[in-house]
Amino acid sequence: MGRERTGPPRLAIGCLLLPGSFFGGGMIGVGLAQIVDTVTGCKAGADLPSCNTFTFFLGGGVVGAIVMMVLVQWRIRRRADGAVRTGLKQSKRS
Q: Domain extents for the chain? A: 13-82
Distance CA 23, CA 7 (A): 27
pLDDT at 90 (0 to 100):
60
Question: Which H or E run includes 13?
Answer: helix 10-16
User: Which of the pair, 85 or 20, is modelled with greater confidence?
Assistant: 20
For the question of whether the overall pTM of this predicted structure is more than 0.75, the answer is no
Report in angstroms the alpha-carbon separations of 63 from 15, 28, 47, 57: 15, 10, 25, 10
Q: How many CA atoms lie within 13 A of 37 on its CB side?
A: 18
Q: Are 23 and 58 in contact (CB under 8 A)?
A: no
Asked if residue 28 has pLDDT above 80, the reply is yes
From the list 65, 62, 42, 64, the residue with the least C-alpha distance to 52 is 42
List, for residues 32-70, the tens digit of each pLDDT value: 999 999 999 988 888 888 898 999 999 999 999 999 988
User: Which of the pair, 38 or 5, is modelled with greater confidence?
Assistant: 38
